[in-house]
Amino acid sequence: MAKPLNIGMIGYGFMGRAHSNAYVQVPHFFDTKHTPVLKAICARDEAKAKAFAAQWGYESIETDWRKLVARKDIDAIDICVPNNLHAEIAIEAAKNGKMILCEKPLAMNAAEGRKMVDAVEKAKVANTVWYNYRRIPAVSLAKRLVDEGRLGKIFHYRAKFLQDWTIKADLPQGGQGLWRLDIAAAGAGVSGDLLAHCIDTAIWLNGRMDTVCCMTETFVKERMHNLTGKVEKVGIDDACIFFGKFANGSLANFESTRYARGHKALYTFEINGENMSLAWDLHDLHRLQVFDYRDEGKIRGWKSVHVTDNSPDHPYMDKWWVPGLAIGYDASFTHQVADFLTGLDTGKPASPTFRDALETQLILDAILDSAKSKKWVEVPKA
């Protein structure tokens, strides 16, 4: 008999939908001892919460997250709200003994992140942060190839996350849908929103980053604020470019912007080792590009591996369809839920935990410090 895991979700936006879909899919595709139960959805607007509950099958609603985290029938709190609410909710949920699945970035900054790590570790509650790109099969395959030592010594890691949706100077900041432009809700701009993903994947694949040197730009300096109705200074970084050095000696080269006309969500990374290079592109997410220098010279070249074999060769794919049939972005969340549940079943927590995600937060703080001081900055130890 599967053990129910009663989920209380806060926020019903983009991530609320992505996570709800994952909870629904998991028991149909994965064999885990725990099964998610959609127990309650929390949103401030009662009518919208009821409509969301009806659409996804939540048993009940709350309009105040504090009531939700205190409920005896909830096992796990899922935090799908803007970044400025993550810490307060997570700390209160931990005090109430709840497991926590928190959206990224973990916090507004590392100081807040540390408090969250302390809270979950003190309460001894299972926890994870939704850095879901780790669980796209082609990205998980890259991790396997790196861990098998196939790349040899690693020289370079470069990543980009490019979008183009904030170019219009009359786009307002703040409130529903536009909180990402509001420093008070987001904590940072493209660094915390987009580079956070790139950094998480990078340190997972290539280990700790020691030092960084960064430049940011805010192209549109003032925008009307939806909550105050006034034109206000824009506090977020619109673009962020940084260099760095990993503890293994390799060089980091990262760029993110919402001003790259023509790019919707172009998350790409490339890693170059002495024997092998790997490259991945979110717009073609089921492929991993592999170059192996040890291949026979006359046929040596980049291979485009379609990561869809339903054998253990291709991570997660044995749970889905037949070879050649791709799965999508949504499946990365399903995989994260499945791994979280397996962590509960086995007692070996799935990464990234809050503590793992704190490392990304420390790098984010360091790059913004560097941009401000115009100096290289050492990343403190977690």
Contacting residues toward ligand NAD, per CB under 6 A: 10-16, 42-44, 65, 80-83, 85, 103-104, 130, 132, 177, 179, 193
Q: Which is nearer to ligand NAD, 42 or 209 (CB)?
A: 42
DSSP string, 265-302: SEEEEEEEESSEEEEEEGGGTTEEEEEETTS-GGG-SE
Strand, helix or coil at 22?
helix
**In this chain, which residue has its C-beta nearest to ligand NAD?**
13
Q: Which is nearer to ligand NAD, 16 or 343 (CB)?
A: 16
Q: Least distance (Å) from ligand NAD to the CB of residue 286?
A: 17
Token digits of residue 178: 């536009």
Measure Cα distances from 205 to 25, 212, 241, 253, 284 in Å.
27, 18, 20, 15, 19
Q: Least distance (Å) from ligand NAD to the CB of residue 358?
A: 16
Q: Least distance (Å) from ligand NAD to the CB of residue 249?
A: 30
DSSP state of 173: B
Q: Least distance (Å) from ligand NAD to the CB of residue 225?
A: 16
Strand, helix or coil at 10?
strand
Q: Least distance (Å) from ligand NAD to the CB of residue 35?
A: 23
Give exposure, 282-310, as e/b (b: 16+ Cβ within 10 Å). beebbbbbbbbeeeeeeeeeeeebbbbeb
Q: Which is nearer to ligand NAD, 203 or 377 (CB)?
A: 203
Phi, psi of 242 (to 5 degrees): -140, 155
Q: Least distance (Å) from ligand NAD to the CB of residue 370?
A: 22
Q: Which is nearer to ligand NAD, 293 or 329 (CB)?
A: 329
Phi, psi of 80 (to 5 degrees): -125, 40
Q: Which is nearer to ligand NAD, 240 or 305 (CB)?
A: 240
Cα dihedral 59/63/187/242 (nearest 10): 10
Q: Which is nearer to ligand NAD, 77 or 290 (CB)?
A: 77
Q: Which is nearer to ligand NAD, 12 or 246 (CB)?
A: 12
Beta-bridge partner residues of 231:
224
Q: Which is nearer to ligand NAD, 223 or 250 (CB)?
A: 223
Q: Least distance (Å) from ligand NAD to the CB of residue 322?
A: 28
Nearest to 91 by CA among 125, 120, 130, 62: 120
Q: Least distance (Å) from ligand NAD to the CB of residue 209?
A: 20
For the beta sheet containing 302-306, the strands, ordered from the edge strand earlier in sequence to the opposite edge, are 302-306, 287-292, 276-281, 266-273, 154-162, 251-257, 239-246, 209-217, 377-378
